[in-house]
Amino acid sequence: MLQEETVIHHHAHHFTSANHEFEAAKQGMWIFLVTEVLMFGGLFVAYGLFRGLYPEMFHEAHQHLAVHMGALNTVVLITSSLTMALSVSSAQKGHKVSSVRYLVLTLILACCFLGVKYFEYSHKFHDGLLPGGFFTNTEIKSPKASLFFSLYFMMTGLHGIHVLIGMGVISWILRRTLRGEFGPSYYTPIELVGLYWHFVDLVWIYLFPLLYLVG
Amino acid sequence: MGSTSQKHHHILPTKTALTIGALLLVLTAITVWIAHIDLGPFNFVIATAVATLKASLVALYFMNLKYESSENRMIFITSFLFLAIFIVLTATDLFFRQEVSVHGTFIAEGSSQSKLKKPWVSTPELVAHGKEIYAIQCVACHGLEGKGNGPAAAALNPAPRNFEAVDGWKNGRKPTMVFKTLKEGLPPSSMASYATLPADDRWALTHYVLSLHPQVEVDSPADFARVGIDPNQESVQEKEDPKISIELAMSQLAHAESGMERGAHLYHSRFEQVQEGPFIGKYLYQKHCLECHGDHGKGGIKVSVLGVYPVAFVATHPLNQQSPSMNSQEVFNQAVIRGIPGNLMPGYGNLSSSELKGLYQYLKAENE
């Protein structure tokens, strides 16, 4: 356990204090997350309207998604959110080793998530359950079922891209943590990456019941 | 060393983090479990409620929103407020938009009141008359025997109704409902409105297609009431309210002073570039004619719209200069409005004269 009393972070000259800088950065992150809500929001609106228009089609099409895979991924992502939160609080307390450990755990869980997604996607590709004109499945009778898979791939795809980006920024703060750049006096990047990662979890929390558990 | 004020920042206790994590997993299990119980529409409500609870836990504790400044809290929550506005307004528009038409004296006297006595009662004469009209207006899609397998059927999804089967009729098999279908069509399917046929012809068609299956369904007083018919009266007092689309009415109002004809401005709002004649013609051609006459009037069904195997072709007449219908605008109009009996060509009686003109010009231009 290292008390990072040696951490020195000079706040940028246009801020009055380190705290001022931290608060500004955090507010920027929240505003970014607002734009994220609205970006995913468009897809959720499309989902809601099409589900309202074609409830039977949604019911039939969703049965071709693997609920156990989706549930597993929910557990994986929630756990990764927990490890991320623990990593942030470890960094805030100056516990570098456990912060690193939790970041690595988070990365591993993110890989698991994408691994499960890979199996799901390849299964869909194999069955011809693809968006729009690429839809070639013959088992589903609803003529508009390709719409469901358009939404499925758009929503989980955009989410998957977010997971990938998340892994990138987590790797970045992991490197910086290993270099001893963070401690109780400066942990802004790790906290902000934490916010982003929890948001990715938050989106999946809605995607799972909406796509996999259509009543 | 930097400012120590970050130390005042709330740090999530490990115990709380673990509790929230465990709670989230339990809620996930509950979601999956409840989804296996059929509660009708409540499944969706519960799933969304549980997801919102989970999302709140993540936001409040993991994202520290509980101890966040009220400013940031407001910023984040506002995004959901706007999302809610987005959802509610769009859904209201989509699901509660009433008929997109206005009442007015705009359309011609194409539709008429029934002159027959009690036309809702099937008679052999009506059925025979219906068969004649059927052969002109309906065979192309519904087939000679009403099996829904006409030459154009291959291109249509959903497939045309098979009148020999009892099940699956969108509005049911009661005479008033079939009459209603003929009047209003079945959007968004390819079943068009035949409101331009005289009402008596529509009753005749109704009885003919119903005669293709022995099972008879009788209208209840409520059914009659729904279409505005008093079965105790001798003839139909059905109100044929003239209706046109709001879009058209608006453009008519906007151009009332210049006395522009209907059609020419119908497509103003839909397309940025408005060209007269041939442009409208192209739009109408693609909407009504392409399925049978193929791309650019060359004949045959456009292969890419076929959803069946083996691929079926219909040897439709190429619409070039040699086609007798292309001799003059007048002959063309007659063929399009009335259809060509015995040639599978249905009539499109609700086109305006400028629309017919545009269609004719388009085909002329295509064949030059």
The reported pLDDT for the residue numbered A27 is: 94
Highest mean pLDDT among A46-60, A104-118, B293-307 belongs to A104-118
User: Closest Cα of chain B to A46: distance in Å?
Assistant: 9
Which of A125-134, A164-173, B301-310 shows the lowest mean pLDDT across its residues? B301-310
Average pLDDT, whole number, for chain A? Answer: 91
Of the two residues B265 and A114, the one the predictor is more confident about is A114
Provide the chain B residues 4-23 that lie in CB contact (below 8 A) with chain A.
4-7, 9, 11-14, 17-18, 20-21
Same domain as B284, residue B213? no
Half-sphere exposure of A133 (CA within 13 A, CB side): 2
Cβ <8 Å between B62 and A75: no
Cβ <8 Å between A27 and B71: yes
Chosen from B20, B24, B38 to mutate, greatest number of chain A CBs within 10 A: B24
Contacting residues of B for A9, CB less than 8 Å apart: 2
- Distance of alpha carbon A64 from its chain centroid, rounded? 23
With residue A92 as reference, give the H or E element that holds it.
helix A67-93
Half-sphere exposure of B188 (CA within 13 A, CB side): 3
Hey, is the C-beta of A17 within 8 angstroms of any chain B C-beta?
yes
Percent residues over pLDDT 70 in chain A: 97
Domain total of chain B: 3
The reported pLDDT for the residue numbered B357 is: 81
Same domain as B230, residue B128? yes
The reported pLDDT for the residue numbered B196 is: 64
Question: Which one of B17, B39, B50 has the shortest CB-CB distance to A85?
Answer: B17
Hey, is the C-beta of B304 within 8 angstroms of any chain A C-beta?
no
Of the two residues A134 and B98, the one the predictor is more confident about is A134
C-alpha distances in angstroms, B343 versus B140, B151, B316, B317, B335? 8, 11, 9, 10, 11
The C-alpha atoms of residue B81 and residue B83 are separated, in whole angstroms, by 5
Q: What is the pLDDT of residues A8-21, one digit of tens each?
A: 777 888 888 888 89
The helix/strand/coil state of B236 is coil
Asked whether residue B105 is assigned to any structural domain, the reply reads no
- The domain limits of chain A are 18-212
Same domain as B37, residue B84? yes
The C-alpha atoms of residue B210 and residue B205 are separated, in whole angstroms, by 8
Backbone angles phi, psi at B117, to 5 degrees: -90, 130
Hey, is the C-beta of A30 within 8 angstroms of any chain B C-beta?
yes
In sequence order, the β-bridge partners of residue B345 are B340
User: Closest Cα of chain A to B11: distance in Å?
Assistant: 6
The reported pLDDT for the residue numbered B7 is: 45
The reported pLDDT for the residue numbered A82 is: 96
Same domain as B297, residue B218? no
The reported pLDDT for the residue numbered B278 is: 61
Hey, is the C-beta of B187 within 8 angstroms of any chain A C-beta?
no
The C-alpha atoms of residue A116 and residue A108 are separated, in whole angstroms, by 12
Question: Which one of A38, A88, A202 has the shortest CB-CB distance to B58?
Answer: A202
- The DSSP 8-state label assigned to residue B190 in this structure reads S
Class (C level, CATH) for A18-212: mainly alpha
Cβ contacts of A66 within 8 Å, gap of 6 or more: A120, A123, A212
- Distance of alpha carbon B203 from its chain centroid, rounded? 23
The reported pLDDT for the residue numbered B234 is: 62
Chosen from A10, A73, A89 to mutate, greatest number of chain B CBs within 10 A: A89
Cβ <8 Å between B62 and A74: no
Cβ <8 Å between A185 and B18: no
Contacting residues of A for B72, CB less than 8 Å apart: 26-27, 30
Cβ <8 Å between B1 and A206: no
* Structural domain containing residue B315: 269-366
**C-beta of residue A37 within 8 angstroms of C-beta of residue B83:** yes
Asked whether residue B255 is assigned to any structural domain, the reply reads no
Provide the chain A residues 123-162 that lie in CB contact (below 8 A) with chain B.
143
The reported pLDDT for the residue numbered B236 is: 56
Backbone angles phi, psi at B102, to 5 degrees: -125, 155
**C-beta of residue A214 within 8 angstroms of C-beta of residue A62:** yes
Asked whether residue B116 is assigned to any structural domain, the reply reads no
The pLDDT confidence band at residue A132, using thresholds 50, 70 and 90, is confident
User: What CATH number is given to the structural domain containing B174?
Assistant: 1.10.760.10
- How would you write the pLDDT of chain B (368 residues) with one tens digit per residue? 344 444 457 889 999 999 999 999 999 999 999 888 888 778 888 989 999 999 999 999 999 998 888 899 999 999 999 999 999 999 888 877 654 555 443 333 334 455 677 778 888 888 888 888 887 778 778 877 888 877 677 667 778 888 888 888 888 888 888 888 887 777 767 787 776 677 788 888 999 999 888 888 888 887 887 777 777 766 554 455 555 555 555 555 555 444 344 333 333 333 333 445 566 777 778 777 776 776 766 665 543 333 334 444 445 667 776 777 787 887 887 778 767 655 557 677 667 777 778 888 888 887 77
Cβ <8 Å between A75 and B25: yes
Provide the chain B residues 78-117 that lie in CB contact (below 8 A) with chain A.
78-80, 82-83, 86-87, 90-91, 94-95
User: Closest Cα of chain B to A122: distance in Å?
Assistant: 24
- The DSSP 8-state label assigned to residue B62 in this structure reads I
Contacting residues of B for A206, CB less than 8 Å apart: 48, 51, 55
Is residue A134 over pLDDT 50? yes
User: Closest Cα of chain B to A17: distance in Å?
Assistant: 7
